[in-house]
Amino acid sequence: MSSPNTDGLTNAIVAGTVTISGHGGDQIEAYLARPLDGGSRGGVVVIHHMPGYDASTKEIVRRFAVEGYNALCPNLYAREAPGADPDDAAAAVRALGGVPDERLVGDVSGASVHLKGLDGANGKIGVIGYCSGGRHTFLAACSLPVDAAVDCYGAFVVEDPPEGMPKHMQPILHLAPNLSAPLLGLFGKDDRFPDQDSVAALDAELSKLDKPHEFHSYEGTGHSFFSVDRPAYRPEAAVDGWSKILDFFGTNLSA
């Protein structure tokens, strides 16, 4: 049982599976976490990594609720693999070539609408994504009106994907003029996708367009450094990255 802290707040959250209207009105599974204490709050759409709508992603969703946000992660693989284990779902969607960009945008839009409809929602929306979700975050923030976006090591925003990738997995740098919100980018200097040249190219393009952005690349760090259940986890980068994310959302998602 939670007890009130010195601020008179319980810090309690509630989290669980909900159904939201995604792209094309499809009813899709999503994981929602929100604080139980009253008050006005921003919403955070969490876009899961390529390995899927898994336990570690749901932990991230709960973390945002603990930090005071309503947070929602749509299961991008719900259509192909309803009710399947996350790893089986990810394998099935991989075999089909991944998530179409248009559908991703529709699902993030649906998640945004759901968050804005919650009691106490202040109307502000942040989007954050990891791995393939980093590219998805940039795509969503260039396609929808949002208030803050965080790209965690998303590849193929700038660079051409290797031969053999699905046709829809194309660079989306040309969408940069439509970026609707400040962008925080968190990268590893040892990552090959995206490598530092790609990060620099995105940085330069956003500077040229006068789009507010803040990029950080961590030494001794590769891809997926926020993943606490993988060998790629880098605690120093992840702890600092979380701090930067919370500062960034604190600035941009306040009413």
Instruction: Name the residues annotated as catalytic.
Output: 131, 191, 223
Task: Decide whether 60 or 125 has the Cβ nearer to other proteins.
Answer: 60
Query: Which run of H or E residues covers position 245?
Result: helix 235-252
Measured between alpha carbons, how far is residue 143 from residues 19, 46, 176, 185, 207 in Å?
23, 16, 10, 18, 19
In the region spanning residues 13 to 42, those forming contacts with other proteins, defined by CB under 8 A, are none
Measured between alpha carbons, how far is residue 41 from residues 45, 65, 98, 122 in Å?
13, 10, 33, 5
Measured between alpha carbons, how far is residue 235 from residues 105, 135, 221, 249 in Å?
31, 23, 10, 21
What binding mask, one character per residue, do residues 45-84 give for other proteins by CB under 8 A, x or -?
Answer: ----xxx--x-------------------------xx--x
Q: How many C-beta neighbours within 10 Å does residue 13 have?
A: 21
Q: Is 131 in the site for other proteins (CB under 8 A)?
A: yes
- Residue 116 burial by Cβ neighbours in a 10 Å radius (0-12, 13-18, 19+): middle
Contact present, 135 and 155 (Cβ < 8 Å) = yes
Task: Decide whether 216 or 230 has the Cβ nearer to other proteins.
Answer: 230
17 SS3 class: strand
Out of 145, 166, 212, 220, the only residue in the binding site for other proteins (CB under 8 A) is: 166
In the region spanning residues 192 to 211, those forming contacts with other proteins, defined by CB under 8 A, are 192-193
Task: Decide whether 109 or 221 has the Cβ nearer to other proteins.
Answer: 221
We find the least distance from the C-beta atom of residue 228 to other proteins, in angstroms, to be 13
We find the least distance from the C-beta atom of residue 8 to other proteins, in angstroms, to be 42
Task: Decide whether 71 or 169 has the Cβ nearer to other proteins.
Answer: 169
Residue in the block written with tokens 């939201």: 20
In the region spanning residues 90 to 119, those forming contacts with other proteins, defined by CB under 8 A, are 90-92, 94-95, 97-98
Contact present, 154 and 129 (Cβ < 8 Å) = yes
We find the least distance from the C-beta atom of residue 33 to other proteins, in angstroms, to be 23
- Residue 249 burial by Cβ neighbours in a 10 Å radius (0-12, 13-18, 19+): buried
We find the least distance from the C-beta atom of residue 134 to other proteins, in angstroms, to be 9
Out of 178, 230, 239, 247, the only residue in the binding site for other proteins (CB under 8 A) is: 230
Binding site for other proteins (CB under 8 A): 49-51, 54, 80-81, 84-85, 87-92, 94-95, 97-98, 131-132, 155, 161-162, 164-166, 169, 191-193, 222-224, 230-232
